[in-house]
Amino acid sequence: MLFPTTSLPFATQLSYGAGRKSQVRKICYTVPMVKKIVFIVISILILAGIVTVWRVHQNRLNHVNDFFSCADAGYPLQESFPARCTTPNGQTFTEPVKQPANANDIIKITSPAPNSTVTRPVIVTGQARGSWFFEGTFPVKIIDKDGDIVSTSFAETSSNWMTNEFVPFTAQLELDGKIKGPITLIIEQDNSSGLPERAQAIKIPLTVK
């Protein structure tokens, strides 16, 4: 007795099989192509990012023309006096710091005397107008012969500094025992305004034993 079958005719089965193989081939061809397209797109995006960063860097570099624009651009500052800022292309800009024309009428250093020989620690005493202070202090530094800062501290007063009269101050700076020979004492006005035109300092050449 013959039973009905749901099997497809032989010719249809061949056609169906051929169709499946064609789809598999299409899938096999499509996957590598998609990977290739993704790779190309990612490469383009990376290249575009590099070009953008380079253009931003060049634009920032083109606007650097002095110490302050160099510092504002985020380029490294050297621990020196005056401070120096160096760009990636090798340009170096020095911070402008002026010495007051009438220094003797603003600040008087009792000790150490210019060109004297000092020992460690370096003790600084004197008097300065109240305008040289801020909150009763102002910065003092020592630099070596190369201009590198080797010691920092603050001069202080116990008197009322909110005056135009002279106010006594003292400062103490520590020095490494390896530092010998010529040094320079830097006494800066405490420029609380941050305005570059108000930055002032006096320099006192010394020799350390």
**Is the pLDDT reported for residue 99 higher than 70?**
yes
| pTM score, whole prediction | 0.65
CA distances, 67 to each of 3, 107, 203 (Å): 99, 27, 21
Which pLDDT band, with edges at 50, 70 and 90, does 3 fall under? very low
pLDDT at 184: 96
pLDDT per residue as tens digits for the range 118-173: 999 999 999 999 999 999 999 999 999 999 999 999 999 999 999 999 999 999 99
Q: Express the helix, strand and coil content of the chain in percent, nearest 5 each.
A: 35, 30, 35
Which pLDDT band, with edges at 50, 70 and 90, does 113 fall under? very high
- Which domains does the chain possess? 63-94 (no CATH), 103-208 (2.60.40.2550)
Q: Is the dihedral of CA 75, 199, 140, 179 positive or negative?
A: positive
Q: Is the dihedral of CA 99, 105, 106, 111 positive or negative?
A: positive
pLDDT per residue as tens digits for the range 35-74: 788 888 888 888 888 877 766 666 666 778 888 888 888 8
Percent of the chain clearing pLDDT 70 (strictly above): 82
Which pLDDT band, with edges at 50, 70 and 90, does 26 fall under? low
pLDDT at 10: 46
Half-sphere exposure of residue 179: CA atoms within 13 angstroms, side-chain side: 24
- For residue 87, the Cα-to-chain-centroid distance in whole angstroms is 10
pLDDT at 20: 56
pLDDT at 38: 83
Instruction: Please check whether residue 124 is in contact with residue 109, taking contact to mean a CB–CB distance below 8 angstroms.
Output: yes
Backbone angles phi, psi at 174, to 5 degrees: -85, 145
